[in-house]
Amino acid sequence: MGNAVDLQPLLPTSPEERLILALDGCDGDEALALVEGIPGLCWVKVGLELFIRSGPEIVDQLRCRGFQVFLDLKFHDIPATVAGACRRAARLGAGLLTVHASAGTEAMAMARQAATEAAMEAGLPSPLLLAVTVLTSWRPQPFRQQLAVANPLSAHVEHLARLAARAGLHGCVCAPRDAARLHRQQPAMALVTPGIRLHRIQGDDQARTMTPAAAMAAGSTWLVVGRPVTRSVDPGLAFTQLCQQIATARVPCG
C-alpha cells in the first residue's frame, strides 16, 4: 500500500519546526495564553485531556492563530470505527493524527484512506497519519509481565512499525530510545518522539526518555515536549533552550 500523502511539505526544516509543544493539563484559555507567549513556536499537541475539556473547537482556535496541530487522540478500535474517527479528525485540519498500531493493518490502512479522502473533500491538506507503537511510560519488565507479549519491548516496537509501513502510514510515535532502530529499519517514515527532557524530572511517568540532542541524533523527526516548557517559570526561554540543543545536534543521514 503506497502513501497518498507527500511528506516533504510538512517535514520540519528548522529547530523551531521540530519541536511540538504538548498542551496536556491546560484548559482552552490556558493553552491559548501559553502558546501566544512563546516566540517561534510552530507545532502544538492537542491530546485527550485538552480535547475532552475544550472540544474540537480548540483545534480550530489554534490553527486560526497560525499553529500546526498534532491531534494525538490515539485511536484504537475496530477498523470501521478507527476510520470513521480519523475521517472526522481530518476535517478539523490537524497536520498529524495518531492511531494505535496494535489496532492492526486493516484498521491503519482504512484510517489512512479515510483521513486523506476527508481532508481532500474539505479542501484541507492531508494529515500525516502516525502509528503509536509502545507508550514511553512502559518499562521492559512490566511490559512483558502485564501484557504477556513474548517479544522484548524493543522487538515489539519494531514489529508494530513494520505493520504501520505495510499499511501505508506516514510515520510512528515511539520513545526516543527506540528511534535509532526504527530509523534504520524504516528510513522513509517520520518519527515523532515524546519523552524529551532537558534533565531528570522527579516523579516522571515517562520511562524511556532522552535529551533533545540525543533524540535528534537517534533519528527523530519531531520532538514532543510538555512539562519542561509548560511548567517552566519562563516557557519562552525553555523553548529557546530546547531549540538551541536541537540546532547543535548531529542528525543521521538517510
Residues of each annotated binding site for substrate = 24, 45, 72-81, 136, 197, 206, 226-227
* Residue 81 cell numbers, joined: 470505527
Catalytic residue among 6, 29, 60, 72: 72
Active site annotation includes 72? yes
Q: What are phi and psi of 157, to 5 degrees?
A: -55, -45
Q: Which of 200, 221, 239 has the alpha carbon at shortest distance from 35?
A: 239
Q: Which residues are annotated as a binding site?
A: 24, 45, 72-81, 136, 197, 206, 226-227
Active site annotation includes 205? no
CA distance 91 to 78: 21
Catalytic residue among 6, 27, 29, 77: 77
Contact in structure between 210 and 176 (CB atoms under 8 Å): yes
What are the DSSP calls for 44-78, one per residue? EEE-HHHHHHH-THHHHHHHHTT-EEEEEEEE-S-
Residues involved in catalysis: 72, 74, 77
